[in-house]
Chain A
Amino acid sequence: AQSVTQLDSQVPVFEEAPVELRCNYSSSVSVYLFWYVQYPNQGLQLLLKYLSGSTLVKGINGFEAEFNKSQTSFHLRKPSVHISDTAEYFCAVSVSTSYGKLTFGQGTILTVHP
């Protein structure tokens, strides 16, 4: 079975500051990794995904994430955040033969202050 741990439940930052949201996973087989964003009272929207190949993945809204197999991590970063980035962010993992089922982390609430 897989598991995902998001190391910070809340991350407050000031506008235009850089941010990193941390995600670690556990799995005995190769994984696919995803970051989803949830704006207030909305569904989840895909930010980016790692399937294979280059370990640095770029997503929408200026976000990127780096897959580190040795540390089993998939941290999300943005060099300069905006007020509109305030949302909850979820790291998720799936494996082949799992019919696309996702195992989610607990979520990180990013709050961007002016």
Chain B
Amino acid sequence: NAGVTQTPKFRVLKTGQSMTLLCAQDMNHEYMYWYRQDPGMGLRLIHYSVGEGTTAKGEVPDGYNVSRLKKQNFLLGLESAAPSQTSVYFCASSYMVENTEAFFGQGTRLTVV
């Protein structure tokens, strides 16, 4: 039972480099989310998707892009990484029901130097 799987788990980038974080879920969830976690700030929503082919901005979208070409996958891209994007990134997914819980991946720890 994989649930929500994030790839990679750790990454170090140089300023200006690009990368893509992959999130895959095997629960047939419609909704998917990308959050970032920073000390003392909890988790903040970057982008989300309510279905295949759809994406929308969250609270802190600047510097990130996303794509949801397949229902089970949600990709988060950094086109030109900045030190301010050093964070732990979590993907989550949930059913298309308003009051249901979200299931989280294990996180990706990204350091931009």
Contacts and interface: CB of A to CB of B under 8 A. Distances in A.
Contacts of B94: 100
Contact of B42 (A43, A46, A105): A105
Interface of B: 4, 31, 33, 35, 40-45, 48, 50, 58, 90, 92, 94, 97-102, 104-107
A99 B106 contact: no
A101 B42 contact: no
Given A99-B31, A101-B58, A94 B40 contact: no
Interface residues of A, number: 29
B30 to A, nearest CB: 9
A107 B40 CA distance: 7
Contact of A101 (B48, B105, B107): B48
Interface of A: 4, 6, 9, 32, 34, 36, 41-46, 49, 51, 90, 92, 94, 96-107
Contacts of A107: 40, 42
B41 A46 contact: no
Contact of A106 (B40, B45, B50): B40
